[in-house]
Amino acid sequence: MGLPIIGETLQFFVPYTSTDISPFIKKRIQRYGPVFRTSIVGHPIIVSTDPELNSLVFKQGADSWFKPWYTDSFSEIIGSESLMFHEGFLHKYIRGLVRERFGPDSLKSLLVDLEGRTRSHLGSWSVLPSVDLKEAVSVMLHGFAVEKLYSFSDPEMIRGHKQSYDAFLRGLISFPLNIPGTAYWKCLQGRKWAVKTIKKLMEERTESPRMGERDYLDFVMEEIDSSESPLTEKMATDLLFLLPFAAFESTSSTIVSAFHYLTAHPAALAELTREHEGILKRREESGSGGISWREYKSMTFTHMVTNETLRLTNIVPGIFRKVMKDVEVKGYLIPAGWTVMVYPTAAHLNPSVYDDPLSFNPWRWEGQKVNSGSENFMAFGGGSRFCSGAEFVKLCMAIFFHHLVTKYRYVQFD
Protein backbone atom coordinates (compact mmCIF):
# COMPACT_ATOMS: atom_id res chain seq x y z
CA MET A 1 0.00 0.00 0.00
CA GLY A 2 3.04 2.29 -0.07
CA LEU A 3 3.63 5.27 2.19
CA PRO A 4 1.01 6.74 4.56
CA ILE A 5 -1.49 9.08 2.82
CA ILE A 6 0.26 9.27 -0.59
CA GLY A 7 0.49 5.48 -0.93
CA GLU A 8 2.05 4.55 -4.29
CA THR A 9 0.87 7.71 -6.07
CA LEU A 10 4.34 8.85 -7.12
CA GLN A 11 5.22 5.46 -8.63
CA PHE A 12 1.84 5.30 -10.40
CA PHE A 13 2.34 8.67 -12.13
CA VAL A 14 5.85 7.96 -13.42
CA PRO A 15 5.59 8.39 -17.24
CA TYR A 16 6.74 5.67 -19.64
CA THR A 17 7.07 5.50 -23.43
CA SER A 18 6.38 1.83 -24.19
CA THR A 19 3.07 0.61 -25.64
CA ASP A 20 3.32 -2.34 -23.25
CA ILE A 21 1.65 -2.59 -19.83
CA SER A 22 2.96 0.16 -17.56
CA PRO A 23 6.01 -0.87 -15.44
CA PHE A 24 4.01 -0.02 -12.29
CA ILE A 25 1.23 -2.47 -13.21
CA LYS A 26 3.47 -5.15 -14.74
CA LYS A 27 5.74 -5.35 -11.69
CA ARG A 28 2.77 -5.90 -9.38
CA ILE A 29 1.08 -8.43 -11.67
CA GLN A 30 4.28 -10.47 -11.64
CA ARG A 31 4.46 -10.28 -7.85
CA TYR A 32 0.80 -10.57 -6.81
CA GLY A 33 -1.17 -11.84 -9.83
CA PRO A 34 -3.93 -10.25 -11.99
CA VAL A 35 -5.72 -8.60 -9.06
CA PHE A 36 -3.85 -6.56 -6.45
CA ARG A 37 -4.38 -3.67 -4.07
CA THR A 38 -2.63 -0.32 -3.84
CA SER A 39 -3.20 3.24 -2.63
CA ILE A 40 -3.33 6.18 -5.04
CA VAL A 41 -3.98 9.84 -4.10
CA GLY A 42 -5.19 8.78 -0.67
CA HIS A 43 -7.65 6.10 -1.84
CA PRO A 44 -7.40 2.32 -1.38
CA ILE A 45 -7.71 0.81 -4.85
CA ILE A 46 -8.04 -2.71 -6.26
CA VAL A 47 -6.38 -2.95 -9.69
CA SER A 48 -7.96 -5.61 -11.90
CA THR A 49 -6.45 -7.11 -15.02
CA ASP A 50 -8.72 -10.16 -14.71
CA PRO A 51 -11.41 -10.59 -17.45
CA GLU A 52 -13.91 -12.26 -15.10
CA LEU A 53 -13.70 -9.52 -12.49
CA ASN A 54 -13.76 -6.83 -15.20
CA SER A 55 -16.97 -8.32 -16.61
CA LEU A 56 -18.53 -8.28 -13.13
CA VAL A 57 -17.47 -4.65 -12.61
CA PHE A 58 -19.22 -3.59 -15.82
CA LYS A 59 -22.42 -5.44 -14.94
CA GLN A 60 -25.32 -3.01 -15.15
CA GLY A 61 -28.59 -2.75 -13.28
CA ALA A 62 -30.09 -1.34 -10.12
CA ASP A 63 -28.45 -4.09 -8.05
CA SER A 64 -24.97 -3.43 -9.42
CA TRP A 65 -22.22 -3.80 -6.83
CA PHE A 66 -20.04 -1.26 -8.60
CA LYS A 67 -20.78 2.39 -9.34
CA PRO A 68 -18.73 4.89 -11.42
CA TRP A 69 -16.15 6.76 -9.35
CA TYR A 70 -13.49 9.42 -9.88
CA THR A 71 -11.09 11.20 -7.55
CA ASP A 72 -12.06 14.57 -6.04
CA SER A 73 -9.29 16.23 -8.06
CA PHE A 74 -10.63 14.74 -11.31
CA SER A 75 -14.13 15.89 -10.41
CA GLU A 76 -12.78 19.40 -9.91
CA ILE A 77 -11.11 19.32 -13.32
CA ILE A 78 -13.93 17.77 -15.36
CA GLY A 79 -16.87 19.27 -13.48
CA SER A 80 -18.96 17.65 -10.77
CA GLU A 81 -22.12 17.72 -12.94
CA SER A 82 -20.44 16.18 -15.96
CA LEU A 83 -21.94 13.20 -17.81
CA MET A 84 -19.55 10.70 -16.23
CA PHE A 85 -20.65 11.56 -12.67
CA HIS A 86 -24.33 10.79 -13.22
CA GLU A 87 -26.17 7.48 -13.13
CA GLY A 88 -29.52 6.04 -14.13
CA PHE A 89 -32.02 8.40 -15.72
CA LEU A 90 -29.77 11.49 -15.67
CA HIS A 91 -26.87 9.61 -17.24
CA LYS A 92 -29.14 8.28 -19.98
CA TYR A 93 -30.63 11.73 -20.52
CA ILE A 94 -27.26 13.50 -20.88
CA ARG A 95 -25.98 10.73 -23.18
CA GLY A 96 -28.98 11.53 -25.35
CA LEU A 97 -27.92 15.19 -25.44
CA VAL A 98 -24.43 14.13 -26.58
CA ARG A 99 -25.84 11.89 -29.29
CA GLU A 100 -27.88 14.87 -30.50
CA ARG A 101 -24.59 16.23 -31.88
CA PHE A 102 -22.21 13.26 -32.05
CA GLY A 103 -24.52 10.27 -32.56
CA PRO A 104 -24.76 8.46 -35.94
CA ASP A 105 -27.88 10.31 -37.11
CA SER A 106 -26.31 13.73 -36.46
CA LEU A 107 -22.96 12.73 -37.93
CA LYS A 108 -24.62 11.94 -41.24
CA SER A 109 -25.54 15.62 -41.53
CA LEU A 110 -22.06 16.73 -40.42
CA LEU A 111 -20.17 14.46 -42.80
CA VAL A 112 -20.00 16.99 -45.65
CA ASP A 113 -18.64 19.78 -43.43
CA LEU A 114 -16.16 17.48 -41.70
CA GLU A 115 -14.88 16.20 -45.04
CA GLY A 116 -14.58 19.74 -46.40
CA ARG A 117 -12.56 20.87 -43.38
CA THR A 118 -10.29 17.82 -43.63
CA ARG A 119 -9.61 18.40 -47.33
CA SER A 120 -8.88 22.07 -46.72
CA HIS A 121 -6.40 21.39 -43.92
CA LEU A 122 -4.63 18.58 -45.78
CA GLY A 123 -4.24 20.95 -48.73
CA SER A 124 -2.74 23.69 -46.56
CA TRP A 125 -0.33 21.23 -44.91
CA SER A 126 0.83 19.85 -48.25
CA VAL A 127 2.71 23.05 -49.14
CA LEU A 128 4.61 23.16 -45.84
CA PRO A 129 8.09 21.63 -45.41
CA SER A 130 6.91 19.76 -42.28
CA VAL A 131 3.86 19.46 -40.04
CA ASP A 132 3.46 18.72 -36.33
CA LEU A 133 0.68 16.27 -37.05
CA LYS A 134 -0.71 15.94 -33.53
CA GLU A 135 -1.05 19.69 -33.10
CA ALA A 136 -2.32 20.21 -36.66
CA VAL A 137 -5.04 17.56 -36.36
CA SER A 138 -5.99 18.85 -32.90
CA VAL A 139 -6.39 22.40 -34.26
CA MET A 140 -8.48 21.10 -37.18
CA LEU A 141 -10.86 19.05 -35.02
CA HIS A 142 -11.06 21.66 -32.26
CA GLY A 143 -12.05 24.27 -34.83
CA PHE A 144 -14.72 21.97 -36.23
CA ALA A 145 -16.08 21.18 -32.74
CA VAL A 146 -16.38 24.78 -31.51
CA GLU A 147 -17.95 25.87 -34.79
CA LYS A 148 -20.66 23.23 -34.51
CA LEU A 149 -21.12 23.62 -30.76
CA TYR A 150 -20.88 27.39 -30.27
CA SER A 151 -20.71 28.88 -33.80
CA PHE A 152 -17.22 30.25 -33.09
CA SER A 153 -15.77 31.93 -36.17
CA ASP A 154 -13.32 34.54 -34.85
CA PRO A 155 -9.75 33.10 -35.21
CA GLU A 156 -8.50 34.83 -32.05
CA MET A 157 -11.35 33.49 -29.96
CA ILE A 158 -10.82 29.97 -31.35
CA ARG A 159 -7.08 30.19 -30.67
CA GLY A 160 -7.60 31.40 -27.08
CA HIS A 161 -10.16 28.66 -26.47
CA LYS A 162 -7.73 26.01 -27.78
CA GLN A 163 -4.92 27.33 -25.57
CA SER A 164 -7.10 26.99 -22.48
CA TYR A 165 -7.74 23.35 -23.37
CA ASP A 166 -4.03 22.78 -23.97
CA ALA A 167 -3.34 23.93 -20.40
CA PHE A 168 -6.20 21.75 -19.19
CA LEU A 169 -4.82 18.72 -21.02
CA ARG A 170 -1.27 19.05 -19.71
CA GLY A 171 -2.48 18.67 -16.12
CA LEU A 172 -5.37 16.26 -16.66
CA ILE A 173 -3.40 13.24 -15.44
CA SER A 174 -0.95 14.80 -13.01
CA PHE A 175 -0.25 14.83 -9.31
CA PRO A 176 -3.10 16.94 -7.80
CA LEU A 177 -0.96 19.67 -6.25
CA ASN A 178 -2.86 22.96 -6.53
CA ILE A 179 0.10 25.35 -6.22
CA PRO A 180 0.76 28.12 -8.81
CA GLY A 181 3.09 26.85 -11.51
CA THR A 182 2.24 23.15 -11.19
CA ALA A 183 0.61 21.24 -14.06
CA TYR A 184 -2.50 20.66 -11.96
CA TRP A 185 -2.85 24.38 -11.17
CA LYS A 186 -2.44 25.27 -14.86
CA CYS A 187 -5.06 22.67 -15.69
CA LEU A 188 -7.55 24.31 -13.32
CA GLN A 189 -6.75 27.73 -14.79
CA GLY A 190 -7.42 26.39 -18.29
CA ARG A 191 -10.78 25.04 -17.16
CA LYS A 192 -11.59 28.32 -15.43
CA TRP A 193 -10.99 30.31 -18.63
CA ALA A 194 -13.00 27.91 -20.78
CA VAL A 195 -15.95 27.82 -18.36
CA LYS A 196 -15.93 31.63 -18.14
CA THR A 197 -16.20 31.78 -21.94
CA ILE A 198 -19.08 29.28 -21.98
CA LYS A 199 -21.02 31.17 -19.29
CA LYS A 200 -20.55 34.41 -21.18
CA LEU A 201 -21.91 32.79 -24.35
CA MET A 202 -24.91 31.44 -22.45
CA GLU A 203 -25.65 34.88 -21.00
CA GLU A 204 -25.44 36.45 -24.47
CA ARG A 205 -27.81 33.86 -25.93
CA THR A 206 -30.26 34.43 -23.07
CA GLU A 207 -30.27 38.19 -23.64
CA SER A 208 -30.29 37.99 -27.45
CA PRO A 209 -31.50 34.67 -28.86
CA ARG A 210 -30.06 33.95 -32.31
CA MET A 211 -32.23 33.92 -35.38
CA GLY A 212 -31.77 31.48 -38.25
CA GLU A 213 -29.61 28.36 -38.11
CA ARG A 214 -29.34 26.82 -34.65
CA ASP A 215 -26.15 25.42 -33.16
CA TYR A 216 -25.69 22.98 -30.28
CA LEU A 217 -25.59 25.77 -27.69
CA ASP A 218 -29.04 26.92 -28.83
CA PHE A 219 -30.32 23.37 -28.41
CA VAL A 220 -28.86 23.14 -24.88
CA MET A 221 -30.30 26.54 -23.91
CA GLU A 222 -33.75 25.39 -25.00
CA GLU A 223 -33.35 22.27 -22.86
CA ILE A 224 -32.49 24.40 -19.81
CA ASP A 225 -35.60 26.52 -20.34
CA SER A 226 -37.90 23.54 -20.88
CA SER A 227 -40.08 22.69 -17.88
CA GLU A 228 -39.89 19.01 -18.84
CA SER A 229 -36.09 18.90 -18.87
CA PRO A 230 -33.94 18.06 -15.79
CA LEU A 231 -30.99 19.95 -17.28
CA THR A 232 -29.56 22.63 -14.96
CA GLU A 233 -27.21 25.45 -15.94
CA LYS A 234 -24.34 23.76 -14.08
CA MET A 235 -24.94 20.46 -15.88
CA ALA A 236 -25.08 22.31 -19.21
CA THR A 237 -21.86 24.21 -18.47
CA ASP A 238 -19.97 21.02 -17.61
CA LEU A 239 -21.34 19.30 -20.72
CA LEU A 240 -20.38 22.18 -23.00
CA PHE A 241 -16.93 22.29 -21.42
CA LEU A 242 -16.22 18.59 -21.92
CA LEU A 243 -17.50 18.11 -25.47
CA PRO A 244 -14.78 20.05 -27.38
CA PHE A 245 -12.06 18.22 -25.47
CA ALA A 246 -13.72 14.84 -26.09
CA ALA A 247 -14.09 15.69 -29.78
CA PHE A 248 -10.53 16.70 -30.59
CA GLU A 249 -8.10 15.16 -28.09
CA SER A 250 -8.77 11.41 -28.22
CA THR A 251 -9.57 11.62 -31.94
CA SER A 252 -6.35 13.41 -32.85
CA SER A 253 -4.34 10.96 -30.72
CA THR A 254 -5.95 8.02 -32.53
CA ILE A 255 -5.28 9.51 -35.98
CA VAL A 256 -1.63 10.25 -35.23
CA SER A 257 -1.08 6.81 -33.69
CA ALA A 258 -2.65 5.14 -36.73
CA PHE A 259 -0.40 7.23 -38.98
CA HIS A 260 2.61 6.03 -36.99
CA TYR A 261 1.64 2.36 -37.20
CA LEU A 262 0.72 2.50 -40.89
CA THR A 263 4.00 4.12 -41.92
CA ALA A 264 5.84 1.38 -40.02
CA HIS A 265 3.77 -1.40 -41.65
CA PRO A 266 3.74 -1.01 -45.47
CA ALA A 267 1.46 -4.01 -46.04
CA ALA A 268 -1.28 -2.49 -43.88
CA LEU A 269 -0.84 0.89 -45.56
CA ALA A 270 -1.07 -0.73 -49.00
CA GLU A 271 -4.28 -2.56 -48.05
CA LEU A 272 -5.79 0.64 -46.66
CA THR A 273 -4.84 2.50 -49.84
CA ARG A 274 -6.43 -0.23 -52.01
CA GLU A 275 -9.68 0.02 -50.06
CA HIS A 276 -9.92 3.80 -50.48
CA GLU A 277 -8.78 3.86 -54.09
CA GLY A 278 -11.50 1.31 -54.85
CA ILE A 279 -14.12 3.51 -53.17
CA LEU A 280 -12.84 6.57 -55.04
CA LYS A 281 -12.92 4.76 -58.40
CA ARG A 282 -16.50 3.57 -57.91
CA ARG A 283 -17.55 7.05 -56.86
CA GLU A 284 -15.97 8.65 -59.93
CA GLU A 285 -17.69 6.12 -62.18
CA SER A 286 -21.07 6.92 -60.65
CA GLY A 287 -20.43 10.66 -60.81
CA SER A 288 -21.26 11.24 -57.13
CA GLY A 289 -19.58 13.87 -54.94
CA GLY A 290 -17.86 13.35 -51.59
CA ILE A 291 -17.87 10.48 -49.13
CA SER A 292 -21.34 9.09 -48.47
CA TRP A 293 -22.44 7.48 -45.23
CA ARG A 294 -22.82 4.20 -47.09
CA GLU A 295 -19.21 4.42 -48.28
CA TYR A 296 -18.05 5.18 -44.77
CA LYS A 297 -19.80 2.11 -43.38
CA SER A 298 -18.24 -0.02 -46.13
CA MET A 299 -14.65 0.87 -45.11
CA THR A 300 -14.06 -2.49 -43.46
CA PHE A 301 -10.28 -2.46 -43.36
CA THR A 302 -10.25 1.16 -42.16
CA HIS A 303 -12.42 0.19 -39.18
CA MET A 304 -10.06 -2.73 -38.52
CA VAL A 305 -7.12 -0.28 -38.50
CA THR A 306 -9.03 1.96 -36.07
CA ASN A 307 -9.69 -0.90 -33.65
CA GLU A 308 -6.12 -2.15 -33.82
CA THR A 309 -4.80 1.37 -33.21
CA LEU A 310 -7.08 1.86 -30.22
CA ARG A 311 -6.11 -1.55 -28.86
CA LEU A 312 -2.42 -0.63 -28.88
CA THR A 313 -2.58 3.03 -27.87
CA ASN A 314 -4.94 2.55 -24.90
CA ILE A 315 -6.10 6.16 -24.65
CA VAL A 316 -8.09 5.38 -21.48
CA PRO A 317 -5.53 4.54 -18.75
CA GLY A 318 -8.05 3.19 -16.26
CA ILE A 319 -11.79 2.79 -15.60
CA PHE A 320 -12.82 3.35 -11.97
CA ARG A 321 -15.75 1.90 -10.03
CA LYS A 322 -16.70 2.35 -6.35
CA VAL A 323 -17.54 -0.88 -4.48
CA MET A 324 -21.01 -0.49 -2.95
CA LYS A 325 -20.97 -3.63 -0.79
CA ASP A 326 -18.53 -6.41 0.07
CA VAL A 327 -17.91 -8.54 -3.01
CA GLU A 328 -16.30 -11.98 -3.07
CA VAL A 329 -15.00 -13.15 -6.42
CA LYS A 330 -12.42 -15.80 -7.33
CA GLY A 331 -11.31 -16.08 -3.72
CA TYR A 332 -10.85 -12.34 -3.23
CA LEU A 333 -12.87 -10.25 -0.79
CA ILE A 334 -13.25 -6.68 -2.11
CA PRO A 335 -14.43 -4.42 0.73
CA ALA A 336 -17.27 -1.94 0.40
CA GLY A 337 -16.03 1.64 0.09
CA TRP A 338 -12.91 0.65 -1.86
CA THR A 339 -12.41 1.41 -5.53
CA VAL A 340 -11.73 -0.99 -8.39
CA MET A 341 -9.62 0.22 -11.31
CA VAL A 342 -10.09 -1.85 -14.44
CA TYR A 343 -6.89 -1.61 -16.48
CA PRO A 344 -7.85 -1.89 -20.20
CA THR A 345 -4.26 -2.23 -21.43
CA ALA A 346 -3.94 -5.66 -19.80
CA ALA A 347 -7.06 -6.87 -21.63
CA HIS A 348 -5.86 -5.39 -24.92
CA LEU A 349 -2.44 -7.04 -24.62
CA ASN A 350 -3.61 -10.40 -23.31
CA PRO A 351 -1.60 -13.03 -25.28
CA SER A 352 -4.32 -15.64 -24.74
CA VAL A 353 -6.74 -13.42 -26.69
CA TYR A 354 -4.45 -11.55 -29.09
CA ASP A 355 -1.66 -13.45 -30.81
CA ASP A 356 1.62 -11.49 -30.61
CA PRO A 357 -0.25 -8.70 -28.78
CA LEU A 358 2.40 -5.96 -29.13
CA SER A 359 2.41 -6.18 -32.93
CA PHE A 360 0.23 -4.00 -35.16
CA ASN A 361 -1.99 -6.41 -37.10
CA PRO A 362 -5.34 -5.02 -38.34
CA TRP A 363 -6.16 -8.37 -39.96
CA ARG A 364 -6.72 -9.87 -36.49
CA TRP A 365 -10.10 -8.09 -36.56
CA GLU A 366 -11.22 -9.79 -39.77
CA GLY A 367 -14.64 -11.37 -39.32
CA GLN A 368 -15.10 -9.82 -35.88
CA LYS A 369 -17.43 -7.07 -34.71
CA VAL A 370 -15.56 -3.79 -34.95
CA ASN A 371 -18.24 -1.46 -33.62
CA SER A 372 -18.74 -2.69 -30.08
CA GLY A 373 -16.91 -3.28 -26.82
CA SER A 374 -16.31 -6.45 -24.81
CA GLU A 375 -14.33 -7.68 -21.82
CA ASN A 376 -11.36 -7.99 -24.20
CA PHE A 377 -11.77 -4.61 -25.94
CA MET A 378 -12.54 -1.53 -23.82
CA ALA A 379 -11.18 1.33 -25.91
CA PHE A 380 -14.53 3.12 -25.56
CA GLY A 381 -15.45 1.86 -22.09
CA GLY A 382 -18.05 -0.78 -21.38
CA GLY A 383 -21.72 -1.42 -20.64
CA SER A 384 -24.01 1.61 -20.52
CA ARG A 385 -20.84 3.73 -20.18
CA PHE A 386 -19.79 2.91 -23.74
CA CYS A 387 -18.53 6.19 -25.21
CA SER A 388 -21.20 8.20 -27.05
CA GLY A 389 -18.52 9.70 -29.30
CA ALA A 390 -17.09 6.40 -30.58
CA GLU A 391 -18.68 6.85 -34.01
CA PHE A 392 -17.22 10.35 -34.30
CA VAL A 393 -13.68 9.02 -33.76
CA LYS A 394 -14.17 6.34 -36.42
CA LEU A 395 -15.69 8.79 -38.90
CA CYS A 396 -12.80 11.25 -38.49
CA MET A 397 -10.31 8.43 -39.00
CA ALA A 398 -12.08 7.27 -42.16
CA ILE A 399 -12.32 10.74 -43.72
CA PHE A 400 -8.73 11.68 -42.88
CA PHE A 401 -7.14 8.55 -44.29
CA HIS A 402 -9.45 8.44 -47.31
CA HIS A 403 -8.10 11.77 -48.53
CA LEU A 404 -4.55 11.24 -47.27
CA VAL A 405 -3.87 7.92 -49.04
CA THR A 406 -5.70 8.76 -52.28
CA LYS A 407 -4.35 12.27 -52.85
CA TYR A 408 -1.07 12.76 -50.99
CA ARG A 409 2.35 11.25 -50.43
CA TYR A 410 4.64 11.99 -47.52
CA VAL A 411 8.41 11.62 -47.29
CA GLN A 412 9.10 10.91 -43.64
CA PHE A 413 7.26 10.52 -40.35
CA ASP A 414 9.24 11.16 -37.17
- Residue numbers belonging to the annotated binding site for heme: 387
Distance of CA 27 to the CA centre of its chain: 27
- Assign residue 151 a region (left: φ > 0; alpha: ψ between -120 and 50; beta: otherwise): left
Report the chain's terminal Cα–Cα distance, integer Å. 40
DSSP letter at 342 equals E
Burial 55-76 (b: 16+ CB within 10 A, else e): ebbbeeeeebbbebbbbebbeb
Q: What separation in angstroms does the CA of 179 have from each of 68, 174, 188?
A: 28, 13, 10
Annotated binding site: 387
Distance of CA 94 to the CA centre of its chain: 17
CA atoms within 13 A on the CB side of 132: 3
CA torsion sign for 188, 168, 10, 323 is positive
Rounded CA separation 345/343 (Å)? 6
Do 390 and 396 form a contact (C-beta atoms < 8 A)?
Answer: no
Do 237 and 292 form a contact (C-beta atoms < 8 A)?
Answer: no
Name which of 218, 126, 166 is nearest 410 in CA terms.
Answer: 126
Q: Which amino acid is at 338?
A: W
DSSP letter for each residue of 373-399: -BTTB-TT--GGGS-TTHHHHHHHHHH
Long-range contacts of 277-283 (CB under 8 A, 24+ apart): 277/405, 277/406, 279/402, 280/402, 280/406
Rounded CA separation 382/49 (Å)? 15
